Amino acid sequence: MSRWRSRGLVALVVAIVACTSAATAQGPVDPGHNTAYDVASLVKFRAEHEASLKTDTGWLTVAGLHFLNQGENSVGRGPTNDIVLDLPGVPDQGAIIVLKGEQPYIKAPPGRTVTVNDQPVREGPLQRSGLGKPADIVSFGRVNFFVHYSGPRLALRVRDLDSPLRTRFKGLRWYSPNPSYRVMARFTPYPAPKVMDMPNILGDLEPFTIVGTVAFTLGGMDHQMVAWRSGQQLWFVFRDLTSGKETYPAARFLCQPFPSAGELPLDFNYAQNPPCGYNPYTTCPLPPPQNRLKISVEAGELRYGN
């Protein structure tokens, strides 16, 4: 598989993760204009979103992103390693990750083994993410990592199940539910989806599938946003005039069920922070120019922390 295609699969995985909670909470598209606002579903969505962050594989356990070089990359707690993991349970000399092209391999220190998928291993290839199979997990007690693409580069995604971001988590903050931020929009699909490279907060380019545009009126102004596809969801990465003030600076995410017809509701009460809104070791896409709204969207999730 080419590097470009594998990067596209990684971007797709990010999109599916971003939209999973919204898909379970919002239910089917309701084209009606006059139905009572469903606060109960919104409250359920927000609770599920917060709970997902606190799981072992939630964004709060991510504890590092370390890019790999071709050849040998020593990993361990000792300061002379190429990749220093100064985390509890990591030995001074943990492992060596060998990168040959796009294929990573692992070698244990002499006379030892390293734990891969809960099994002792002396050396062998590592399954990276983005190839249709689960990535191999290398673990040192409560710390683990796997190999994946971040932009055009392969990297180690490190998790610490006892990360302070997780153990000191204080909960999320939201705007109060406001039905006026649920608007009807007109979805115009492209004749064929377009794959375009979009920048993330590190300046790397990631390929995303753009499937069309939505047009709507909000705050007395007409707007148009481009929509990315994530499974059976439309995924919007957007910014507005609250960004950098009440809400996270880079962007927020909004996911909606894929419409069966041209009209669909956009409910900004479901807007949520991207992973990088909680954790500096994650990467997130930036909004395309069309999705930078010139109004204040005082709905959805507020900036994390104080």
- Segment 217-273, tens digit of pLDDT: 999 999 999 999 888 899 999 999 999 999 999 999 999 988 877 899 999 999 999
Q: What is the pLDDT of residues 38-81, one digit of tens each?
A: 999 999 999 999 999 999 999 999 999 999 999 999 999 999 99
Return phi, psi of residue 206, to 5°. Answer: -120, 140
* Nearby residues of 14 by Cβ (< 8 Å), 6 or more positions away: 206, 285
Q: What is the pLDDT of residues 175-227, one digit of tens each?
A: 999 999 999 999 999 999 988 888 777 777 778 889 999 999 999 999 999 99
Beta bridge partners of 224: 215
DSSP-H helix ranges across the chain: 3-26, 39-53, 164-167
Q: How high is the mean pLDDT of the chain? A: 87
Closest CA to 236 of 217, 213, 219, 216: 213
pLDDT of residue 230: 84
206 vs 249: CA distance, rounded Å? 20
50 vs 48: CA distance, rounded Å? 5
Q: Does the structure show a pLDDT above 90 at 291?
A: yes
